[in-house]
Structure 1
Amino acid sequence: MENWTNWTNWTNAKLCDVANLALGAILFLSPWLFKFDDGAVSTNAHIAGLVIAVLAIAALAAFAVWEEWLNLVVGLWTLVSPWVLGFHGTSAMTVHVAIGAAVAILAAIELWMMSQHPPRLTTHS
């Protein structure tokens, strides 16, 4: 039964990583998709989206806890950046808050799953 639980957690973690990859890509492309071209706002979307996507690709290649902690931090930054950078009340804010919240929640879920069933280094009991 434990192998099934580990398989389910692994599959759920991979689905979270694929979702983060898509969210990072959407955030990266959001200045063009949602027509906000302010320099600082666009740069923030590009950098945060790229970091989220790269971390998702790294997590898909080989899971490491630090990737989820970084995704949590980048997700939280993306969530609060409209207030820090002063672009609240815009479509850019909506995009940043929604994607930031989703990335942070997915990272928190993965971290919680790991705390419940840490990955085993060997197949022996």
Structure 2
Amino acid sequence: MKRMKHWQDVVSVLVAIWLMASPWVLGFAHTNLAATGNCVMIGAVLFAFEMVELFVPESWEEYSELVMGLWLIASPWILEFTGVRVAMQNVIAVGVVTCLLALWVLVTDDEFGWFPPRRVPH
């Protein structure tokens, strides 16, 4: 088992916990089932991926988080809860943060990032 590699994963765990709790904290849990289910289900999947990623970092997890972040950004229109402003703003904000954290790792990680490791001349 590897040790934690990215601080972004710890932040993402906290973001996933927030996403799961947000319908009750923000008060839309009983007013919109689509928004609540979206937050709880995507939050649970993000949480599970992040817990695995804390100890076994793999690039597919970052790409999966990027897709889930993009889903969160688009979900108010797809699931039709744009009328619940607080829910819409919440999932868009969480989606943007999730995408930024995943992209950050993909851009900066030498092992499975987008850019090859920098070689230092001898």
1:54 aligned to which of 31, 48, 53: 48
Is 2:111 the counterpart of 1:116? no
- Paired residues, what number? 108
Structure 1: where are the runs of 5+ without partners?
1-9, 119-125
| 1:24-43 deviations in Å (ceiling 9; x for gaps) | 00000011110002111111
Alignment map for 1:6-85 (pairs within 5 Å): 14-37=6-29, 38-85=32-79
Q: Taking every aligned residue pair, what percent have the same amino acid on both sides? A: 31
Distance 1:95 1:69 in 2: 22
Structure 2: where are the runs of 5+ without partners?
118-122
Query: Which structure shows the higher helix fraction?
Result: 1
Runs of 4+ in 1 over 2 A off after TM superposition: 115-118
Distance 1:108 1:71 in 2: 9
Q: Is the 8 A contact 2:34 2:81 kept in 1?
A: no
Distance 1:103 1:117 in 2: 23
Distance 2:106 2:63 in 1: 8
Q: Could you say which residue in structure 2 is the equivalent of 1:3?
A: none
2:90 aligned to which of 87, 92, 95: 95
Cα RMSD (Å): 1.7
TM-score scaled by length of structure 2: 0.82
